[in-house]
Amino acid sequence: MIGALAGDIIGSVYEWHNIKTKAFPLFSSKCFFTDDSILTVALADTILSGTPYVENLKKFYHWYTNGGYGGRFCHCAQSQRIY
């Protein structure tokens, strides 16, 4: 879990700018968590709490609306609001 979240945050600044080197800073002031981290935590919470996963994904979406979700996910998450 920690590795997935760290990888998402570290890679956030490179997601649309592929780099070809292994010499880059792991964390910078421009790093941020993305929808990948948000939904990973939502699913972990589902496993731990037993909350239905669709309900949890929508709830986390509404808590973190600026996560960079894809358009289709946003459309589905906004339908029949559950949170």
pTM of the predicted structure, to 2 decimals: 0.83
Residues 14-46 pLDDT 10s: 887 878 888 888 888 999 999 999 999 999 999
Burial of 56 (0-12, 13-18, 19+ CB in 10 A): buried
* Domain parsing of the chain, residue ranges: 2-78
Q: What count of other Cβ atoms lies within 10 Å of the Cβ of residue 37?
A: 20
The Cα 29–Cα 65 span in angstroms is 21
pLDDT surpasses 70 at 12: yes
